[in-house]
Amino acid sequence: MPSLFPAARIRLASRTGRATPCDVGRRDSGPGDLPVFSEQVLKWRKGAGLDAAERNRIDSSVVEVRTFGAREVIVRAGQTLDVSLLLIHGLMSRHVDDRDGVRQMVSVHVPGDFVDLHAFPLKTLDHDVGTLTSVCAAIVPHRALAQIVEDAPELARKLWYATLLDAAMHRKWVYRLGRLSAHQRLAHFFCETNLRMAAVNLSDKRRFVLPLTQADLGEICGLTAIHVNRVIRDLREWSLVTFRASVVEIHDLPGLTELGAFEPAYLYFEDDFLRGFDKTTTADGHAAAPDDS
């Protein structure tokens, strides 16, 4: 299994396990050899790429790098926050919690996402934030963000943009839940996640590690775990995609895209990046999968 999720960078901790400290990349050149956190931030996003100065500004805003175990709740709804998390390794989620323990996930975050940047303008969140895997995240104090807003308006606009990217994804999730069938919802989610993972080199465009249970997929797609199970079986039997042992393997990307009515415009990826995902990659043909780290 090639470097989809290099063990050296993140190890999937057991439910109760302790997160492994994560080794943060370093830039060889640069002022003072600052650790690099911003590498994946807004990567490939149309009209929001960060220049060297902006990355530096973000990197130097980080006051701490923290690790968390898998399946921890990091932020509870209502809590007042004065820092935000920039996800470096692992997966996180945000969910709306019902009193009866019924949860609905509202987003899944991949490395490079500013998970709860929303908390900066809002001061308090309306939902919970948690880890899915063990996680390594950079802590950015809101003071530093306020300073950025104060004297780097263009970077501020890009941070704003990052939060609106989340909003755009939320909208598509509303659409997914409101208009698509169970099969389509799963297909759509796999397509979306494939793209987002690929953007940060965690998918080779057909295959990626997705450490979720079928129950998690149910919380994402508004379905019961049991129904998810049957739907996944169908998708497998239809030779569209398999999901087994936390690995998603897309056998027929055009077919999956078609079924899920997936149109990636809402992710605001640059056309260059999207070009690798069109009708070229069919069936198991191991089609061209370039520029993968």
CA distances from 36 to 20, 50, 81, 165, 258 (A): 19, 13, 24, 22, 38
Choice from 5, 68, 173, 269 touching its own copies (CB under 8 A)? 173
The DSSP secondary-structure symbol of 208 reads E
Contact between 141 and its own copies (CB under 8 A)? no
Choice from 161, 224, 229, 270 touching its own copies (CB under 8 A)? 161
Contact between 285 and its own copies (CB under 8 A)? no
Write the binding mask 11 to 50 for its own copies: x where contact by CB under 8 A, - elsewhere.
------------------------------------x---
Q: Is residue 156 within 8 Å of residue 148, measured between CB atoms?
A: yes
Spell out the residues 6+ positions from residue 207 whose beta carbon is closer than 8 angstroms to its own.
4, 247, 248, 249, 250
What is the total count of residues that contact DNA (CB under 7 A)? Answer: 24
The pair of structure tokens assigned to 91 is 């997966």
Q: How far is the CB of 8 from DNA (least distance, A)?
A: 18
Cα(59)–Cα(84) distance, integer angstroms: 13
Q: Which stretch binds its own copies (CB under 8 A): 57-65, 147-155, 188-196, 232-240?
A: 147-155
With CA atoms as reference, report the closest residue to 64 among 93, 91, 35, 28. 35
* β-bridge mates for residue 244, sequence order: 247
Length of the chain: 293
Choice from 12, 77, 182, 215 touching its own copies (CB under 8 A)? 77
Q: How far is the CB of 98 from DNA (least distance, A)?
A: 12
Contact between 183 and DNA (CB under 7 A)? yes
Q: How far is the CB of 177 from its own copies (least distance, A)?
A: 4
Residues that bind DNA (CB under 7 A): 12, 14-17, 181-183, 213-215, 222-227, 229-233, 244-245
